[in-house]
Amino acid sequence: MLKHVSFLTGNLPAVLAFYARLGGVVEKDLTTAEGFRRGVVRLGEGRLQVFEVPGERPRPHQHWAEHIALHVRDLRTLLPELRAAGVTVTRDLQPSPSGRDMAFVTDPDGRQVELLEADD
């Protein structure tokens, strides 16, 4: 079972707000003993841990094959709201291989995020 995935960020508050908007719950936003900002977002049973390290910049790959996939509710309503908030949509609403609605957006650091309609 996945405990967490960790990434670097250039803007911790923006990343935490982005994933909270997608249904995540911010569990931590603190400064580590080393002086790094650390945020943790609970996404279902797993966690996304994000570090803002002075002088370090994330370099996510722009190809859709390298991505985070999240189940979300009411994607048809959420996607226009994300667009209106300035989120970049890289793959518009379409059926996934399983037939559920899906789309791809980028997070504030440019990471690809697959949004997949959750089962009710």
SS3 state at 59: coil
Say how far apart CA 31 and CA 22 lie, in whole Å: 24
How many structural domains is the chain composed of? Answer: 2
Nearest to 109 by CA among 6, 42, 11, 4: 11
Considering 32, 59, 86, which residue would you say is the last residue of a domain? 59
The answer on 105 and 80 residing in a single domain is yes
pLDDT digits over 5-54, tens only? Answer: 999 999 999 999 999 999 999 999 999 999 999 999 999 889 999 999 88
Cβ neighbour number for residue 7 with a 10 Å cutoff? 15
Range of the domain at 55: 1-59
Please report, for the chain, how many H helices and E strands are present, in that order. 2, 8
The answer on 86 and 37 residing in a single domain is no
SS3 state at 54: coil
The answer on 119 and 73 residing in a single domain is yes
pLDDT digits over 52-100, tens only? Answer: 988 888 888 877 888 999 999 999 999 999 999 999 999 999 998 889 9
The answer on 79 and 116 residing in a single domain is yes
